[in-house]
A and B are shown apart, each in its own frame.
Chain A
């Protein structure tokens, strides 16, 4: 493949991710039916000898970035983001071996969980998926997570960044406790908090480093504070 063709294919790959076109057989989006999807294009690029890190940086991540911008502008909604993530996933199946062989390195580790006393899963799960799609290693500790579990996880992954989620005002105090424990035991760990009732003011009063209204705020925060 010539460089021009490679660049064009990377752009098509970015479009496939943005528009949620996973592979040739996927029926979505309607106007791309029958065309190659993220899966085929990634394979093509690898066969042409394009370095996996370039496929990630110039195809997949820009695609996820664009859908993110549209989400923030309310032009698209959560399902569209998930369709994009699905396309990204289809491509990643080809790239995963290179992560293992360290031909690509992730940007760093993000540990996320819903604080103890709170059982709401879906918000933090979406954050985890988008962050993963932006090239981070993500550890999702689930719901009802005790502060000690966050601490243990941070200790086993030095340099990790933590995200906390809560759904109700009555579980927000547990966010405060969790931040306090983290700041006491691993003071250098950056912490971002989010969830429906959480506000930037609350984040500031409990000593969190940032508040995020949506998954992309977590991605921006991660790029600011952590990773390689």
Chain B
């Protein structure tokens, strides 16, 4: 149609990006791991801090962390009060997350993982008679998955900025009243074995040290602190935490 200006285009198809992360890129921080083990800043006993340093050294060659996102097709995102429909799939995010995603143009589904090699090492540790090392490795694995999730969020922010868009925080099934059973729908939106992660029948992600979720992108969206005021989950470990805070 001659004369009618087309809006400068975002691509009409999906964008898929996967990243294999170097250990150094994860920039793991001692104090976050200590904190995950329960200790307030600088209060971990030296034997624990030394144990963390040992585990970090030992696991370095065994970490093949990965993360990635699938930026779903534009124009097929419909917001409800308590749900969001994308590419014909309706995700029952609940009111808290739906409110935070209001105004998004496109939705990205992401996965982040510490990877299989770490998983195998961690499983071996579980059979060794040193539970302290096992517990430290557990906290390290969780932190790797968390960092990988932060990296995928940061990457999407940079990528979205090129399209003149902003991003929301990341939201995961199993949090903020979003039923965990929706993991199956979420994974149906991803290529099979995305980043090496699969879902069991009971929607357990394997490898275990993995995180999944969604991030919205749009011209006028913002990255909010979780709106915990309206969430009934008073025991949630993320309650009133800033996204990405230790």
Binding site for B on A (CB under 8 A): 20, 27-30, 74, 77-80, 82-83, 85-86, 117-122, 125-126, 129, 167-171, 174
Contacts and interface: CB of A to CB of B under 8 A. Distances in A.
Contact of B202 (A86, A121, A129, A170): A170
B181 A85 contact: no
Contact of B136 (A27, A79, A119): A79
B75 interface: no
Contact of A129 (B44, B131, B174, B206): B131
Nearest to B48: A79
Given A30-B46, A79-B37, A170 B203 contact: yes
Contact of B38 (A78, A117, A126): A78
B39 interface: yes
Contacts of A74: 38
A27 B136 CA distance: 18
Nearest to B137: A122
Interface string B166-209: 00000000100001110100000000000000001111101010
Contacts of B201: 117
5 contacts: A79-B44, A122-B138, A125-B131, A167-B204, A171-B204
B200 A117 contact: yes
A79 B202 contact: no
Contact of A29 (B45, B174, B204): B45
B15 interface: no
A18 B180 CA distance: 39
A120 B44 CA distance: 25
A28 B51 CA distance: 12
A86 B46 CA distance: 16
Contact of A174 (B135, B174, B202, B206): B202
Contacts of A30: 45-46
A122 B134 contact: yes
Nearest to A76: B38
